[in-house]
Structure 1
Amino acid sequence: MLNRRHLLSLGASAALPLRAFAQDPWPARSIRAVNPGAAGGTNDVLTRHLLEPLGKLLGQPVILESKAGAGGVIGTQFVAQQPADGYTILTHHNGFITAPLVSANANYDALKDFVPLSLQGTSPLILIAHPSMPPTLAEFVAHARANPGKLEWGTAALGGVGHLATEVFHDATGIKGMVKVAFSGSAPATQALVAGQIKYLLSTPTAATAGLVQEGRLRFLGVSSAARSPLLPNLPSISEVAPGFAVEVWFGLLARAGTPPAVVARLADAIASVISQPDIIDKYRAVNVVARPGRNELAELLRGDHQLWSKVVREKNIRLD
């Protein structure tokens, strides 16, 4: 026989909304992808190519929102503070790993506070030199070794991947004591290189630098990837003169740690499916990025980057605070 307590319990259960017993399907509303860098940058361009096809696949709009500042830290911190529900994701690059290594103000742990969704693609850094330098990679390295402390090199951002990769390049090739000159972006660094104020730098390939090479105002000497890049197959890999040297710029998408595994899997599969489409591959290649989708691929790059850059930052005592 039901007593009054049982009847009250049943009545309360009946009053609960249906979602207490069955979760809403995901996604039930639009998804926001946050770009922590400047609008118009490579990261921004790559992600914009995904928005429409990804939205169609998921059945909800995907909207790109820029939150630039502090070398990507502001946007990354913003995503870290959002609910772990898959409705706010982060689109980033190597700076995601390097920022908290060189600055305590980053205030996030790249390997603990986020989970990878998918790699978007990779691009090599290019060793770019002033035309007064020797014309080949091997000759340049030999010249630099023979003239320690006599050449200036540039970096577009202190603590960024170009800066750290050049430190690794110097160690790998035995180049010592060169003069570092920091700039606030790749454009002023390139202008200084054209003017001869610096003699070399490692930077990503762009249409602007390619045009300057065609005009004879700059030289491309080699790529930083482990093997020759399909983007520039005629350029040697730096590893050909410095075995074991390998650095690439990556672009990827991440979610907050704690996002339900089913949501992570849905996002990861959808993103990888879109990036695998031939037209997306072509669009990525047009901005000098080789499309490489995959959640596991991004996870591997995150771990490898963290191990490499932690060592470089520690050994070179690189801090921005």
Structure 2
Amino acid sequence: MVKSKGYKEHLADLRETLECTRKHGLKMNPNKCAFGVSAGQFLGFMVHVKGIEIGFLTKPMTTNNQAEYEAILKGLQLLQEVNAESIKKAKSQKQNQTSFQKCTTEKQLLLKKQPGKAASLEVIELGATQIIIPGNFPIGCSPSYLSLFSVSGAGDLDDRGCLKSYNAFAQHHNELLQAAIDGLRKANTDVSIVYADYYGAFMHLLDHASLLGFDQGALLQACCGAGGAYNFHMNMMCGAAGTSVCADPARRVSWDGIHLTQQAYRAIALSLLMEGFAQPADAVQEIWSC
């Protein structure tokens, strides 16, 4: 999806996007593409000139299209990650570590809104009986955060090389989320609500990286980037001129400093299913057995 401020900007953005896809040999189905539209639905969200909304889902909704139904549910399940991503972007606008430490009150307000809980209630009202709500990743281990906020000699790095303060924030977010999930379970005893511990699964990956086939010396480096300690540069993102891709992406954890590689996602998914990082474990196995 390509969204722009105006017509001229949109043409330029489209050209850049299509040139990038052509460069990497990617293809698109023309029957599934739409150009020049001012609004539309995407994964259960309404995207238009004013932004992205989910309010239309509060209306009664029925569908006989299984694919459409699953897409909507998937979109709602991802709302917690969307919320976490918006918080991360807000933090990236901070100028230094000191200003980040001063925004404790702001963080509390953001977390107490609990949009993930509200989205889950909407899904339950739509008739869902099995819901997975993911927590946040340890953002302090992200190459993008390390590149932007790691200060030599500041003492904010843990034994893994991750930012302790940012990981503490992610853990606090997850604690509040789990408390909200407990309330949902008590109020909806006929619904199976699973918490996916992305934080724990990711740390498990780092601690067992060699056994899982990852490059132990490049765990916190992006595969695709423009160089530097973490192979990430905010003004030269993956795909831009001057960036390059590592020789074996399957041995890297981070793809572009923000997103993980397919191999890392696979390892985390297996941890959620088989290593107990999704709770309650019996509910996970019941869903998986289907």
Q: State TM-score, norm by structure 1.
A: 0.24
Bigger Rg, which one = 1
Greater fraction of residues in helix? 2
TM-score by length of 2: 0.26
Higher RCO (CA 8 Å, separation ≥ 6 residues): 1
Q: Which structure has the highest strand share of the two?
A: 1
